[in-house]
A and B are shown apart, each in its own frame.
Chain A
Amino acid sequence: MSGRRSRGSVSEEEINELISKLQSLLPTARRRGGSSSSSSQASTAKMLKETCSYIKTLNREVEDLSDRLTDLMATMDQNSPAAEIIRSLLR
């Protein structure tokens, strides 16, 4: 990995490899009739766009869950079993 970075330019195959690895992470990993099309600019751009929207979705979920957790924590009973579990984990 470090050997790749020390070279001046990165080969396109490596980039395509990274992009397909990224693509497999996305929830919408549709195999569009052969992965050899990943070298075209269009699908790369589309993939990046999907990645951006996925990250934004995850950020929004973090915010929503923080909201939920805030409410839940406010109403959480100090002696509830869940609180007890957490306290014992952090002891």
Chain B
Amino acid sequence: MDAKGAPLPTPPSPNPSSGSASGAIDAPKPMLAFHFLRALSRVHAGPARRRTRTISRAAYSSMARAAGPRRAWSRALLRQAQARRSTTLASRRAAVLVRRRVAAGPAPPLALPRLTGRSSGSSGETSAARAPLLPPPPPAPRQAGEPARSDALRRLVPGGAGMEYCSLLEETADYVRCLRAQVQLMQGLADLFSCQ
């Protein structure tokens, strides 16, 4: 974990070959640690209310940031986080809609009956649904031979609703790897903090 010692103002560029054992490109652990620790320090400096929720959200956003925009799930998570941040400044109604959406967890929003309007630009402050809407999920499995169980998977993996079955499997694998690394990181931190 040498990359963590570098006192750079900008995070070190992710090096895909730096540590993943599986042969596939994965979010390297120093990047994960950097983003999460930074988020944690912000949480610590902030208000003490609802910290658990803030920390768990920070976990997912830092996971997405470490993975970068090349993955659909990380892009979906970053979009959700952005929508959350921006609607705290917007109208009350929009904030309620977004809160309801993200309260469902990291899963992408399905076609809720309350979603109104589609904002085309990314800078509309007062439109009700600022976050880009995902295409409505297909009522039946997309491809022949795709099992019905894949719908549950689509709900669990962020951004999974609009994907092809093949991409869904790839994204799931990457998501599981990163999620596992995030859990390991948090576990290590908890152990570190609890043995002072």
List residues of chain A with CB under 8 Å of any chain B CB. 4-5, 9-10, 12, 14-15, 18-19, 21-22, 25-26, 41, 44-45, 48-49, 51-52, 54-56, 58-59, 61-63, 65-70, 72-74, 76-77, 80-82, 86-87, 89-91
Contact = CB atoms under 8 A, between A and B. Distances in A.
A4 B172 CA distance: 18
Nearest to A14: B166
B100 interface: no
Contacts of B179: 55, 58-59, 62
Contacts of A15: 145, 165-166, 169
A14 B26 CA distance: 20
Interface string B4-47: 11010000000000000000000000000010011011011000
Question: Which secondary structure dominates where chain A touches chain B?
Answer: helix
A44 B152 CA distance: 14
Contact of B176 (A5, A22, A81): A22
A45 B166 contact: no
Contacts, number: 135
B182 to A, nearest CB: 7
Nearest to A10: B166
A10 B189 CA distance: 42
B143 A9 contact: yes
Interface residues of B, number: 53
A41 B147 contact: yes
B156 interface: yes
Interface of B: 4-5, 7, 34, 37-38, 40-41, 43-44, 48, 51-53, 55-56, 59-60, 105-106, 143, 145, 147-150, 152-153, 156-157, 164-167, 169-170, 172-173, 175-177, 179-180, 182-183, 186-187, 189-190, 192-194, 196
Given A69-B193, A73-B51, A76-B193, A91 B7 contact: yes
A22 B173 contact: yes
Given A72-B194, A81-B196, A90-B38, A65 B153 contact: no
Contacts of B143: 9-10
29 contacts: A10-B165, A18-B170, A22-B173, A41-B145, A41-B147, A48-B150, A49-B149, A51-B153, A51-B172, A55-B179, A58-B176, A59-B105, A59-B179, A61-B186, A65-B187, A67-B52, A69-B186, A69-B189, A69-B190, A69-B193, A70-B52, A74-B51, A76-B193, A80-B196, A86-B37, A89-B5, A89-B37, A90-B37, A90-B41
